[in-house]
């Protein structure tokens, strides 16, 4: 079985629920760094910083180096290499840095004012070579500082120190007056020049601390710059830990009773449906002890709703989270469902008010649904248009929790004001980063469960739906096979795009468990493909009761059980859905020597018609795809079924495929991928007005033409 709940672990102390910010570890490896070019060394240093999310949030911070390069003329200009916009320090590669000619960018130091748009255009003229990423908007501080190596990071410890009332005094004590304090200002030319001028006036300075923002360090070598960054963060972390321990005022919620697993399973689809009103969203559930403790704090609503401690904590998480009342979390599934739905509606109304108060002419409001939901007794739920973005929101809010918990022990903190928050959230530079994400695919944000997904048609369907953007749950009693297919989906399409679950469709408990795991992994499901199958072939006189019951249990009862559990989740989501039955031509045409199989397939087709009527009012569509003679990759056709069918037609088994091709109107063979395309059509919005339908994918068998 898969893991029921994925968690994003945070460091835990003996003080239940406290989030200590620990000093980072210097991971520099001289042997690994040896022989690297300046740009490769910059990528190595950046990856080290980004490997510790308490040092560099996902997508946050930027690094640079200055080196001499050879341009297309054969000349050797001095070049600033700076992180390209939209990349992440943890994974950035050399080609994701932008090279700018220093002779072209240094004159900017003489300017007094420059808009973001002017800066972008200017840098486009200063690039070393065309086709490079857009330079970070924080490039001015890198270019104007007179050092070969510069790190700008957003570490938890520095953000916390820069957010507490006594932050400036603590900084002066820690660095002996060698830390430059800069009040908050949105990144750009003005802030970069302000920092550069302050450093030039203070040649003895060791670092720059940016209120509500982060840290700037520098050195002449990559290793020294990295070491100074790690040391600076460590100083702040140790000082914060000492102050917090001395005051012992962490408010914790570890004693709040846990929300039952069954309650979460029943309620999460309602939350997913509520946040998916404008676009399908995927949930991520963190029930780790630290997440649960923070969500259960008695002061969590006040603390979390005050505002973000830095811009990084905002872009993927919204200005504040939705907080479920403790009483609702304790009261059971129906009350939690109500709290989720009413809470999302209240959040959206509050967000719309915030937008109206700060938006100017021509600014379009982004999706107002919450990206973070705190559930006392359970933990943190994050949402996103796909699993990756839900995980990014989780990672960023994990860092926000660390800062909020720490500053809560130091007399509170000064968050970004609502005006500052809006300026960042709707800042074209930040929206540009979001625009770098690939356009959504047809099934983006949707979750599909495919039974019999380990081989044959099921595997092809799983792969096709994933290629169309779906997150696919591969359900099969062949768990190693399901895991192999799911692992391939993750490798091809990314984090959490495939999940393997064990499911014997004849086992009611196993079917229920598979849907439970799907809900815990993604929050719900949108597309259900019933495909698990079996085939037997005997004359009626030789058909045993066991053979009859086997066909009925898998092909009839199995489809019924899966559909029943799917209906429960889809109704909770209240967003409709699509169920596709993979039946057979034999469900429409009497199959000689296959009464048990053909009868069960006929039942599937009629069950789909019945459920189409039952689900229509809720927007739940039921459609059937009828394959015929799909031999490739099929476990069924590699069994005794091939020999039995060949015997029925009086031909050798090796001629069966040609026999099936020749009998079709189109004279074609049918492959698993052909069935997958038909399933995708019924799963997608293209068939939004189709239900109760049958689509034959059989090459044309006259007897199965629907009438």
- List the catalytic residues: 597
Per DSSP, which regions of 147-280 are E strands? 149-153, 179-182, 207-210, 214-219
DSSP code string of 601-665:
HHHHHHHHHHHHHHHGGGTEEEEEEEE----TT-TTTTTHHHHHHHHHHTS-GGGHHHHHHHHSS
Q: Which residue pairs, CB below 8 angstroms and at least 24 apart, start in 636-640?
A: 636/456, 636/533, 636/534, 636/535, 639/535
Backbone angles phi, psi at 641, to 5 degrees: -55, -40
Rounded distance between C-alpha atoms, residue 466 and residue 447, angstroms: 9
The answer to whether 209 and 181 have CB atoms below 8 angstroms apart is yes
The answer to whether 383 and 282 have CB atoms below 8 angstroms apart is yes
- In terms of Cα–Cα distance, which of 242, 237, 233, 258 is closest to 49? 233
How is the chain split among helix, strand and coil, in percent rounded to 5?
Answer: 50, 15, 40
DSSP code string of 321-370:
-EE--HHHHHS-HHHHHHHHHHHHHHHHHHHHHHHHHH--TTPPPPP-S-
- In terms of Cα–Cα distance, which of 456, 451, 459 is closest to 580? 451
Burial 34-55 (b: 16+ CB within 10 A, else e): eeeebbebbbbbbbbbbebbbb
Tokens linked to 619: 């927007």
The answer to whether 563 and 579 have CB atoms below 8 angstroms apart is yes
Burial 298-330 (b: 16+ CB within 10 A, else e): eebbebbebbbbbbbbbbbbbbbbbbbebebbe
Distance of CA 99 to the CA centre of its chain: 31
Q: 455 CB contacts (<8 Å, ≥6 apart)? A: 476, 478, 481, 633, 634, 635
Burial 462-478 (b: 16+ CB within 10 A, else e): bbbbbbbbbbbbbbbbb
């Amino acid at each position: 079985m898969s893991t029921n709940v994925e968690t994003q672990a945070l460091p835990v102390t003996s003080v239940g629920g406290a989030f200590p910010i620990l000093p980072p570890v210097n991971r520099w490896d001289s042997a690994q760094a040896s022989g690297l070019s300046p740009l490769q060394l910059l990528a190595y240093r950046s990856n080290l910083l980004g490997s510790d999310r308490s040092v560099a949030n996902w997508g946050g911070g930027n690094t640079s180096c200055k080196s001499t390069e050879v341009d297309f003329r054969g000349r050797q200009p001095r070049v600033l290499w700076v992180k390209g916009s939209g990349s992440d320090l943890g994974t950035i590669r050399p080609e994701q840095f932008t090279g700018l000619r220093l002779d072209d960018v240094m004159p900017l130091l003489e300017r007094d004012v420059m808009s973001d748009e002017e800066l972008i255009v200017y840098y486009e003229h200063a690039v070393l070579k065309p086709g490079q990423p857009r330079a970070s908007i924080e490039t001015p501080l890198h270019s104007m500082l007179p050092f070969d190596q510069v790190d700008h990071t957003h570490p938890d410890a520095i953000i916390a120190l820069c957010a507490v009332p006594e932050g400036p005094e603590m900084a002066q004590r820690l660095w002996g007056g060698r830390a430059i304090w800069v009040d908050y200002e949105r990144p750009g030319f003005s802030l970069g020049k302000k920092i550069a001028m302050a450093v030039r006036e203070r040649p003895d300075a060791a670092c720059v601390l940016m209120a509500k923002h982060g840290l700037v360090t520098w050195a002449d070598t990559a290793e020294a710059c990295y070491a100074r960054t790690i040391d600076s963060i460590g100083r702040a972390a140790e000082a914060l830990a000492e102050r917090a321990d001395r005051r012992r005022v962490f408010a914790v919620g570890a004693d709040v009773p846990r929300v039952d697993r069954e309650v979460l399973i029943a309620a999460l689809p309602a939350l997913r449906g509520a946040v998916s009103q404008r676009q399908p969203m995927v949930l991520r559930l963190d029930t780790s002890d630290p997440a649960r403790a923070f969500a259960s704090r008695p002061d969590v609503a006040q603390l979390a709703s005050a505002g973000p401690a830095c811009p990084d904590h905002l872009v993927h998480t919204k200005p504040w989270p939705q907080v479920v009342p403790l009483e609702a979390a304790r009261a059971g599934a129906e009350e939690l469902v109500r709290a989720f739905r009413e809470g999302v509606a209240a959040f959206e109304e509050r967000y719309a008010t915030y937008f109206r108060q700060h938006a100017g002419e021509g600014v379009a409001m982004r999706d107002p649904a919450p990206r973070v939901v705190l559930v006392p007794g359970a933990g943190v739920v994050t949402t996103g248009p796909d699993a990756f973005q839900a995980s990014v929101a989780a990672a960023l809010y994990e860092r926000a929790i660390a800062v909020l918990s720490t500053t809560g022990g130091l007399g509170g903190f000064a968050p970004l004001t609502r005006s500052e928050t809006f300026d960042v959230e709707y800042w074209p530079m930040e929206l540009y980063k979001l625009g770098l994400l690939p356009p959504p695919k047809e099934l983006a944000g949707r979750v599909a469960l495919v039974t019999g997904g380990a081989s044959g048609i099921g595997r092809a369907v799983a792969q096709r739906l994933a290629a169309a953007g779906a997150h696919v749950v591969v359900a099969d009693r062949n768990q190693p096979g399901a895991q192999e297919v799911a692992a391939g989906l993750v490798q091809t399409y990314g984090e959490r795009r495939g999940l393997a679950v064990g499911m014997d469709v004849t086992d009611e408990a196993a079917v229920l468990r598979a849907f439970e795991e799907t809900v815990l992994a993604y929050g719900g499901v949108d597309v259900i493909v019933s495909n698990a199958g079996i085939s037997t072939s005997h004359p009626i006189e030789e058909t045993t009761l066991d053979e009859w019951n086997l066909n009925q249990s898998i092909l009839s009862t199995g489809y019924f059980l899966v559909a029943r559990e799917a209906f429960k989740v889809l109704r909770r989501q209240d967003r409709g859905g699509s169920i596709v039955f993979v039946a057979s031509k034999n469900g429409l045409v009497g199959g000689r020597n296959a009464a048990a199989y053909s009868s069960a397939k006929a039942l599937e087709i009629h069950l789909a018609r019945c459920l189409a009527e039952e689900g229509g009012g809720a927007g739940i569509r039921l459609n059937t795809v009828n394959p015929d003679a799909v031999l490739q990759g099929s476990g069924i056709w590699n069994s005794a079924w091939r020999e039995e069918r060949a015997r029925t037609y009086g031909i050798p088994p090796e001629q069966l495929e040609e026999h099936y091709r020749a009998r079709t109107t189109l004279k074609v063979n049918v492959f698993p991928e052909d069935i997958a395309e038909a399933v995708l059509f019924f799963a997608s919005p293209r068939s939004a007005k189709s239900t109760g339908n049958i689509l034959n994918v059989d090459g044309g068998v006259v007897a199965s033409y629907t009438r």
